[in-house]
């Protein structure tokens, strides 16, 4: 990450207390579902008790699917110039939840379904004020 001011994209998304980032998820003790970002209730319509707790997700998952963004996303996203295609991956974690995120340092010809990745934190984009917007990302293991 550069010398720009860093701004987190949201509160309570990840925990760095273990030295490495882990995503904060809500686990429903009644039905077993996981939710990200964390939530105050269970969103499973079949669930009766909705007894939820916050927990940290496993740091590693597997790419279940991915998409290559060949065109720059719309504002407020400010893409690198010249634009480099962004790899977005849907990563399945051992807990069963699938989370979408941008791949760090990965090009379209490197990404593969089934690849093991881990959670990292990095710059999603740089805004008009020159601030780096920081979010969760995934990187190859």
Of the pair 26, 123, the CB lying nearest Zn ion is at: 26
Of 4, 44, 58, 120, the residue at the interface with Zn ion (CB under 5 A) is: 44
Of the pair 28, 115, the CB lying nearest Zn ion is at: 28
Least Cβ distance, residue 19 to Zn ion (angstroms): 31
Of the pair 31, 140, the CB lying nearest Zn ion is at: 31
Number of residues that bind Zn ion (CB under 5 A): 6
Binding status of residue 28 toward Zn ion by CB under 5 A? yes
| 47-86 footprint of Zn ion as x/- string (CB under 5 A) | x---------------------------------------
DSSP track, 10-57:
SSSSEE-TTSS-EEEEEEETTT--EESS--SS---TT-SS--EEEEEP
DSSP track, 45-101:
TT-SS--EEEEEPPSEEEEEEEEEE-SPPPTT----SS--PEEEEEEE-TTS-EEEE
Q: Give the range of 34-42, 63-71, 100-108, 127-135 binding Zn ion by CB under 5 A.
A: 34-42
Tokens of 83: 């634009």
Are 119 and 136 in contact by the 8 Å Cβ rule? The answer is yes
Separation of alpha carbons 118 and 20, rounded Å: 10
Of 42, 57, 63, 121, the residue at the interface with Zn ion (CB under 5 A) is: 42
Which residues would be at the binding site for Zn ion (CB under 5 A)?
28, 30-31, 42, 44, 47
């Amino acid at each position: 990450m550069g010398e720009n001011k860093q701004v987190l994209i949201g509160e309570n998304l990840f925990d760095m207390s273990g030295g490495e980032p882990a995503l904060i998820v809500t686990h429903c003790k009644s039905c077993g579902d996981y939710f990200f970002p964390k939530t105050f209730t269970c969103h499973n319509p079949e669930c009766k008790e909705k007894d939820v707790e916050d927990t940290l997700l496993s740091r590693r998952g597997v790419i279940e699917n991915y998409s290559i963004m060949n065109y720059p996303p719309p504002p407020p996203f400010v893409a690198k110039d010249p634009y480099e295609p962004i790899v977005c991956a849907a990563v399945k974690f051992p807990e069963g939840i699938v989370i979408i995120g941008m791949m760090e340092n990965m090009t379209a010809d490197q990404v593969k379904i089934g690849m093991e990745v881990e959670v990292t934190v990095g710059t999603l984009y740089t805004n008009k004020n020159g601030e780096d917007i920081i979010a969760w990302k995934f990187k190859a293991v």
